[in-house]
Structure 1
Amino acid sequence: MVLAFILIGVGWAGIIIYPLAFVMDAIPAQNAGVYQGLFNAQVCVPQIVASLLSVLILPLIGNSLPTLMLIGSLFWIAGTLAVGLVKLK
């Protein structure tokens, strides 16, 4: 069980770090701080908004776990495809 949780932590660290590494590789070094801040805002603000609006959204889709999993999977696939739009140096 401990090994499983360690591996979950390693996976979570990768989820957090890899998108930022892609952004840092695709931007000029002199603007790195600005781009990091904007990237963080693009990650955090939608999470905050979704959390606040979930009280309104969940009843609209029927509080159905399969529906929630489908919506989450579609967004996951969209995010995966969007990585291909990042132009690395």
Structure 2
Amino acid sequence: MGVAEVNRTKERMVQFAADTGLELAGTFVEEDPRRPAAFERLFQAVVSDEIEIVILPSLLHMMVLGSPMHIKDYFEAATGARVVTVPG
């Protein structure tokens, strides 16, 4: 993903949050898809800040860790947060 696409994706997420009455507290972007450092930072932030909802552009953004649905289920069970995706 290039910088322009990352920025467009962030804009979609900000708009989705505003449209649904949510506050977008931060964004996490993987620099190297082979090493999910941003996912780890996201996980830690959700746990430590007791975040209730995580917005993703799509479940494919969890694919670096394995099956997106399995990772989503694991993430929700481990954090107590609900994962939602921005409609296409």
TM over 0.5: no
Q: Bigger relative contact order, structure 1 or 2, given CA contacts below 8 A and separation 6+?
A: 1
TM-score (norm 2): 0.33
Structure number with the higher helix fraction is 1
Q: TM-score, normalised by structure 1?
A: 0.33
